[in-house]
């Protein structure tokens, strides 16, 4: 083991040691006193999203495998958030970093990557980020991190303070500490794989529900069992929904999937701003739509229980998209009727999506 490698692993562990856990924020729905809802706030990591955990795990995995050495350029295919977090860790280790991303990635994320000293390599077709990353890695004699393949195995799914482990520990003193549902989206699929494996391994009754936006291959693949589903272009919700079924997406540990209209995700974050007093990223809105559907079902059956979902990243990254009236209008997204549906559900427990 070289001293550089020892130092590198120690730097990442020390970064972890300096960090505190993220909050689990309750949201009381007046219409559902028997159901508790919690948001695991992953926006408070140093690099602003749940991808901070993934980037840490991917670097430790690659270092421990001997794939990254002193001076190795690190290349990643990303829709943005992972690249921001990886740029942070690459800088920590003094490694060059290149993010290969769709040209549609928000300027805020591009700025964040460059802030951490990373370089952005933009491509027009989101489906080409994988090949382009591989090509760059070959040319530069670098390492293609490949989050979409390694997310599910780089994370220690049995525990070791992974996201599932921390949620269950934070739930310990709640009225219903074992959630009926955990709701999350899938980008790599790594988070849902960690949740699904963890609840099985720990013998919890908790079910895992994955929400998927329009224009993503995951939902169709889950329903049909066909792992080769694909679609054109990118999803309308940054961070989740993929044009192909990623290798880290593990359908066998997912109990239920819900397809979410983009406009419902956008409206949800505007509604959440009213009740949480803060802006969240689009995928948090997708999560909340799934929560509403599951909660409406529970209410109808007279069930009590708790539901946990995530604030995946902060809304400040999307002021020029989901939070811009012009952007919404240009895309033909009328969030007003959806806002009314969310408000009504929140106060009266009646879930009625717009016609
Ligand atoms: C990556 C990401 C997700 C999905 O997490 P995975 O573990 O990759 O499936 C959700 N929201 C945001 C903002 C993300 O960046």
Q: Which two tokens stand for residue 283?
A: 């995928």
Q: Is the pLDDT of residue 9 over 90?
A: yes
Pairing between strand 181-185 and 207-213?
parallel
CATH, domain range 3-45+160-348:
3.40.50.1100
Q: What is the pLDDT of residue 79?
A: 84
Q: What angle do CA 173, 177, 183 make, to 5 degrees?
A: 130
Beta-carbon count within 10 A of 24 CB: 17
Among residues 170, 106, 168, 174, which one has the least CA distance to residue 319?
A: 106
Rounded CA separation 314/317 (Å): 6
**Ligand 1: distance of its center to the CA of 4 in Å?**
31
Query: Residues 114-126: pLDDT tens digits?
Result: 999 999 999 998 8
Among residues 53, 16, 268, which one has the least CA distance to residue 157?
A: 53
Q: Is the pLDDT of residue 296 over 90?
A: yes
Q: Which of 41-45, 85-89, 154-158 has the lowest mean pLDDT?
A: 154-158
Domain residues of the chain, as ranges? 3-45+160-348, 52-151
Q: Is the pLDDT of residue 134 over 90?
A: yes
Residue of the CA atom closest to atom 14 of ligand 1: 239
Q: What is the pLDDT of residue 316?
A: 92
Rounded CA separation 309/287 (Å): 7
Q: What is the pLDDT of residue 280?
A: 98
Atom of ligand 1 nearest to the CA of 194: 7
Rounded CA separation 312/188 (Å): 13
Q: Is the pTM of this model over 0.95?
A: yes
Q: Is the pLDDT of residue 145 over 90?
A: yes
| Band (350; pLDDT cuts 50, 70, 90) | very high
Average pLDDT over every residue of 132-150: 98
Q: What is the pLDDT of residue 11?
A: 98
Q: For 244-270, what is the HEC assignment?
A: ECCCCCCHHHCCEEEEECHHHHHHHHH
The phi, psi pair for 123, rounded to 5°, reads -125, 150
Mutate to test the pocket of ligand 1, among 113, 185, 284, 314 (most ligand atoms within 8 A of CB): 185
Q: Which two tokens stand for residue 190?
A: 């790594």
Q: Is 18 exposed, middle or buried (0-12, 13-18, 19+ CB in 10 A)?
A: exposed
Rounded CA separation 61/65 (Å): 6
Q: Quick check: CB of 49 below 6 Å from ligand 1? A: yes
Please answer whether residues 101 and 121 qualify as being in contact, where contact means their C-beta atoms are separated by less than 8 angstroms: yes
Query: Residues 234-285: pLDDT tens digits?
Result: 899 999 999 999 999 999 999 999 999 999 999 999 999 999 999 999 999 9
Pairing between strand 24-27 and 35-41?
antiparallel
Average pLDDT over every residue of 184-199: 98
Rounded CA separation 323/109 (Å): 16
Query: Residues 171-189: pLDDT tens digits?
Result: 999 999 999 999 999 999 9
**Ligand 1: distance of its center to the CA of 80 in Å?**
10
Domains 3-45+160-348 and 52-151 share a fold: yes
Q: Is the pLDDT of residue 104 over 90?
A: no
Q: What is the pLDDT of residue 295?
A: 98
Task: State which CATH number among 1.10.10.10, 3.40.640.10, 3.40.50.1100, 3.40.50.300 fits the domain covering 52-151.
Answer: 3.40.50.1100
Q: Which two tokens stand for residue 193?
A: 């794989």
Q: Quick check: CB of 282 below 6 Å from ligand 1? A: no
Q: What is the pLDDT of residue 185?
A: 98
Query: Residues 22-63: pLDDT tens digits?
Result: 999 999 999 999 999 999 999 999 999 999 999 999 999 999
Q: Is the pLDDT of residue 233 over 90?
A: no
Q: What is the pLDDT of residue 234?
A: 84
Rounded CA separation 261/185 (Å): 13
DSSP H or E stretch at residue 257:
strand 256-260
Q: Is the pLDDT of residue 86 over 90?
A: yes
Is 303 in a helix, a strand, or coil?
Answer: coil
Q: Quick check: CB of 48 below 6 Å from ligand 1? A: no
**Ligand 1: distance of its center to the CA of 23 in Å?**
18
| Mean pLDDT score of the chain | 96
Q: For 148-185, what is the HEC assignment?
A: HHHHHHHCCCCCCCCHHHHHHHHCCCCCCCCCCEEEEE
Strand ranges of the sheet holding 143-144, from the earlier edge strand across to the other edge? 119-123, 97-102, 74-77, 143-144
Please answer whether residues 260 and 289 qualify as being in contact, where contact means their C-beta atoms are separated by less than 8 angstroms: yes
| Band (195; pLDDT cuts 50, 70, 90) | very high
Rounded CA separation 116/138 (Å): 23
| High-pLDDT (> 70) share of the chain, % | 100
Average pLDDT over every residue of 312-325: 95
Q: What is the pLDDT of residue 309?
A: 98
């Amino acid at each position: 083991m070289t001293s550089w490698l020892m130092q590198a692993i120690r730097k990442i562990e020390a970064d972890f040691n300096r960090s505190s856990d993220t909050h689990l924020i309750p949201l009381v729905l007046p219409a559902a006193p028997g159901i508790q809802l919690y948001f695991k706030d992953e926006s408070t990591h140093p690099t602003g999203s749940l991808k901070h955990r993934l980037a840490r795990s991917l670097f430790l995995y690659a270092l421990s495998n001997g794939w990254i050495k002193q001076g190795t350029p690190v290349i990643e295919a990303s829709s943005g958030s992972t690249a921001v977090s990886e740029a942070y860790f690459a800088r920590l280790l003094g490694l060059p970093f290149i993010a290969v991303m769709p040209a549609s990635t928000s300027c805020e994320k591009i700025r964040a990557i460059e802030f951490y000293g990373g370089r952005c390599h933009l491509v027009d077709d989101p489906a080409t980020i994988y090949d382009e990353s591989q090509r760059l890695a070959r040319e530069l004699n670098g390492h293609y991190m490949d989050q979409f393949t390694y997310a599910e195995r780089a994370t220690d799914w049995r525990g070791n303070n992974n996201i599932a482990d921390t949620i269950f520990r934070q739930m310990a003193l709640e009225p219903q500490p074992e959630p009926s549902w955990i709701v999350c989206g899938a980008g790599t699929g790594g988070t849902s794989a960690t949740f699904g494996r963890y609840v099985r391994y720990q013998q919890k009754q908790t079910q895992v529900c994955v929400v998927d936006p329009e224009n993503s291959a995951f939902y169709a693949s889950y329903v049909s069992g066909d792992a080769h589903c694909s679609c054109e272009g990118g999803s309308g919700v940054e961070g989740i929904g993929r044009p192909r079924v990623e290798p880290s997406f593990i359908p066998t540990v997912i109990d239920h999937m819900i397809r979410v209209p983009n406009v419902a995700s956008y409206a949800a974050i505007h509604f959440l701003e009213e009740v949480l007093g803060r802006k969240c990223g689009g995928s948090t809105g997708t999560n909340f739509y799934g929560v509403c559907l599951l909660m409406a079902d529970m209410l109808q059956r007279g069930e009590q229980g708790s539901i946990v979902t995530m604030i995946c990243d902060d809304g400040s990254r999307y002021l020029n998209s989901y939070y811009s009236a012009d952007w919404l209008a240009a895309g033909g997204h009328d969030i007003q009727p959806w806002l009314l549906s969310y408000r009504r559900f929140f106060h009266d427990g009646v879930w009625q999506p717009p016609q």
